[in-house]
A and B are shown apart, each in its own frame.
Chain A
Amino acid sequence: MRKRGKSARQARTLLLFGVVFVLVLIVIVSSLGRREFNLVHRLGLEVVGAVQAVGTGVGGYFAGIWTDYRELIGVRDENRRLREELRHYQAATTQYREAVATNVRLQKLLGLKESLPDPTITARVIGRDPSLWFKTLTIDRGSSDGVERGMPAVTVEGIVGQVINTSPNYAKILLANDPNSAVDVIIQKNRVQGIIKGDGNEFVLHYVLRNSDVEKGDHIITSGLGGVFPQGLPVGRVAEVVRSPRGMFQSIMVEPAADFSRLEHLIIIMKKSPLTE
């Protein structure tokens, strides 16, 4: 009885497989040579296509992560390389800019040098006074270059000071804004004479009578009377005028024409001055 049941089940299985096989065979045979999908193909495509879509999405996602990661490494290297290139070009640009600025400055100095009547020599500022009380500079020209005590120092902007000490290769300049400096000047518009003295930062114009016409913005130039500076060099512009009710003279503050904090090159006018003797 049990044996009969087993053989009947085997027969049903075989029949099922046979039917499926025949159906598949029919489908294959019926689709041979055709270009259009039949129902089974379409169904297969729908199901597998959906899986494919999911698979491609997931694969694409992970592939994207991987690609991003690989690109990130590349970007990091590229970034490093670009930064180095940028640094290199920035340094080069700074050098070019500095060269251009130096060129412009030296051209101006050359122009001034040619316009001055006395022989001149160009000097580089190599040191500054470190103290709070004095305003002096050290330059890279000395007595072996013909620099002597009392010679005036100027820039394109205006007067700077005068030589107070020399050694064979270096010299010390007393800046015009030092309290120990005094320069004979005139107000350009009305030729009123006065003495410019330094106050540590700016100039103070002394000995200008109260009734003299002096206004803010007036140009001050050297008078040439002191025997140190040639006549007509720019000194500065009047910054403030105070007329006190008492006293003979006005109190006049003058903004220097030269920027003493940014001096790099100077011209020494090789003129014998009374200080030399």
Chain B
Amino acid sequence: MQANDPNIKWIEEPKLGLTGKMYLPLFVQGLTTTTKHLLGPKVTVSYPDVRPTIGNPLIYRGVHRLNKDEQGRVKCVACFLCATACPAHCIDIVGVESPWPDREKYPESFTIDELRCIFCGMCEEACPVDAIELTSLFDLTGRSREEMIFDKEKLLSVYDQTKDTEPMKSNALGGTV
């Protein structure tokens, strides 16, 4: 874009008024803010002794989970749409024919490299069956890089761990399936 592009709207800096020139009113204004935060409720928590509260867990983008259907099977149909949407290329799926008569295809292996992931939530948006979701678990740690590559079992266990506190978004937010 050139500097003389017609789409650029140039704005003049507003001139300082009398209060601005006097300096003191702005000084008081700033100090008021400081005092307000000094006396107001504390937001800082001494993590990890105290855990911070998550605003809305339904829209928080933390560790992934793989949802299960009513029969306890993995919901994923191995369509690779999350892997396609993923800008960090951190999802690796091996799809095979499913062992169940009512399902066509399922993931034999499903791994997410949590270290490579940028937690953008594109996989969640791409999923046609709401199988992959981001939970509100944020304190993701591990002792090795290998440990941080989550396989299908681990992702399903994240679902078991969070299903009571965070219902499937398909139900909570009016999903498709």
A interacts with B:
no
